[in-house]
C-alpha cells in the first residue's frame, strides 16, 4: 500500500484519541448546525458535493479505506468460493469478514462525518481499538449488520413443508422490513457518535428521525440509484464471472460499495445537521 499504508494501533480499552498524536487538522471552519432541511433533490445534490469535497480533503484516507474494501472483498471471494455448498459455514465466514472490514474502515467513515459536520480533516489513518468513538460506531454498525444477516442462518425454506415454509418466508420478509426501518431511524446516531455529540443515544436518534423516515429513505435511494446503475451496467459489460472477469466484477462491486458507503456518510451527516436536535444536545 506504499505511502497510503495506515498506522494501525492496538490499545487497551482505556486508550483515547487525546492520548495519541492528534490525527485531526481542524483548519477548515466548522459548519453551522440547525440548518433548514432542503427538498430531497437539493439534499441529493448536496450529498454528491460533500462526497466530492471529502474526496479532495481526505484523499489518502479514502484510498486506504478503498484498499481495505477491495482486499477484504477479494479475500472473501477467494476463500469462500470453493466451499459455496457448505451452507452456514460460508455464511458465518462471510459475516466475520464483513465485521473485520467494518472495523478497518470505521476511521474513514468517522473522518468523513467529522469533515462534513466539523470541518476537520484526518491526517493519519489510525485504528484505535480502545477508543470510545471507534467502539461506539463499530458496535452500532455490527448490531445492525447482525440483525440484517440473522435470517441467513436459518435452514433453507425449500427444505420445509408447506404451508410452514411459506409462513416462515413471510415472517422473515416482515422481519427484514422491520430491520430496514429500524436502521433508517438510527441514521442520525452514526454522525452523532462520530462528532462526540452529547446526546448520541439510540432513544434520541429514534426520536429525531420520527416524522422524517420517508425523506431519509428517499434521499438515500435517489442518491444511490446512479451509482448502482453504473455498477450494474459495468458488470453486464464484463459478462462472465470466471477468471479475470470474476476479479473485475468483484472490483466493480467493491468500488460501488465504497461509493454507496461514502454517500450514506454524507447524507447522514447532513441529516444530523438538519434534524438532529436531541442527539446534538446534552
Q: Is residue 166 domain-resident?
A: yes
Q: Is residue 38 domain-resident?
A: no
pTM: 0.82
Q: Which of 228, 78, 92 is nearest to 153 (CA)?
A: 92
Q: Is residue 48 domain-resident?
A: no
Rounded Cα gap, residues 240 and 257, in angstroms: 20
Total domain count for the chain? 1
Q: Is residue 68 domain-resident?
A: yes
Rounded Cα gap, residues 157 and 122, in angstroms: 47
Write the CB contacts of 58 (distance below 8 Å, at least 6 apart in sequence): 108, 111, 112, 115, 121, 122
Q: Is residue 69 domain-resident?
A: yes
Using alpha carbons only, give the angle 79, 140, 87 rounded to the nearest 5 degrees.
Answer: 30
pLDDT value of residue 145: 92
Q: Is residue 39 domain-resident?
A: no
pLDDT of the chain along its 282 residues, tens only? 443 333 333 333 333 333 333 444 444 334 445 567 889 999 999 999 999 999 999 999 999 999 999 999 888 887 776 545 555 566 788 889 999 999 999 999 999 999 999 999 988 898 887 888 999 999 999 999 999 988 887 766 556 566 666 777 788 889 999 999 999 999 999 999 999 999 999 999 999 999 999 999 999 999 999 989 988 888 777 766 667 777 888 888 899 999 999 999 999 999 999 998 888 887
> What is the domain extent for residue 256?
2-25+56-275
Q: Is residue 141 domain-resident?
A: yes
CA distance from start to end of the chain: 41
Q: Is residue 161 domain-resident?
A: yes
**Dihedral pair phi/psi, residue 126, rounded to 5°:** -120, 125
Q: Please, what's the b/e burial string for 50-88 (b: 16 or more CB within 10 A of its CB; e: otherwise)?
A: bbeebeebbeebbbbbbbbbbebbeebbeebeeeeeeee
Amino acid at each position: 500500500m506504499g505511502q497510503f499504508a495506515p498506522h494501525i494501533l492496538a490499545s487497551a480499552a482505556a486508550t483515547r484519541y487525546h492520548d495519541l498524536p492528534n490525527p485531526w487538522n481542524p483548519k477548515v471552519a466548522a459548519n453551522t448546525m440547525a440548518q433548514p432541511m432542503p427538498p430531497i433533490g437539493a439534499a441529493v445534490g448536496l450529498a454528491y458535493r460533500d462526497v466530492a469535497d471529502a474526496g479532495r480533503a481526505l484523499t489518502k484516507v479514502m484510498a486506504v479505506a478503498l484498499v481495505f474494501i477491495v482486499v477484504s472483498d477479494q479475500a472473501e471471494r477467494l476463500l469462500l468460493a470453493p466451499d459455496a455448498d457448505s451452507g452456514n459455514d460460508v455464511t458465518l465466514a462471510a459475516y466475520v469478514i464483513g465485521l473485520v472490514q467494518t472495523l478497518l474502515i470505521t476511521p474513514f467513515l468517522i473522518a468523513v462525518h467529522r469533515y462534513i459536520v466539523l470541518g476537520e480533516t484526518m491526517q493519519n489513518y489510525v485504528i484505535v481499538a480502545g477508543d470510545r468513538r471507534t467502539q461506539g460506531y463499530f458496535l452500532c454498525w455490527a448490531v445492525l449488520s447482525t440483525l440484517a444477516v440473522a435470517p441467513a442462518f436459518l435452514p433453507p425454506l425449500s427444505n420445509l413443508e408447506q404451508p410452514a415454509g411459506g409462513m416462515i418466508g413471510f415472517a422473515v420478509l416482515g422481519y427484514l422490513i422491520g430491520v430496514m426501518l429500524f436502521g433508517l431511524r438510527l441514521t442520525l446516531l452514526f454522525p452523532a457518535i462520530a462528532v462526540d455529540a452529547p446526546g448520541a443515544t439510540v432513544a434520541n436518534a429514534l426520536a429525531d428521525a420520527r416524522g422524517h423516515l420517508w425523506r431519509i429513505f428517499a434521499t438515500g435511494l435517489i442518491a444511490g440509484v446512479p451509482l448502482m446503475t453504473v455498477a450494474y451496467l459495468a458488470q453486464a459489460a464484463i459478462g462472465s464471472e470466471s477468471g479475470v472477469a470474476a476479479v473485475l466484477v468483484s472490483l466493480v462491486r467493491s468500488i460501488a460499495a465504497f461509493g454507496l458507503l461514502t454517500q450514506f456518510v454524507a447524507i447522514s451527516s447532513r441529516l444530523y445537521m438538519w434534524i438532529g436536535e436531541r442527539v446534538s444536545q446534552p
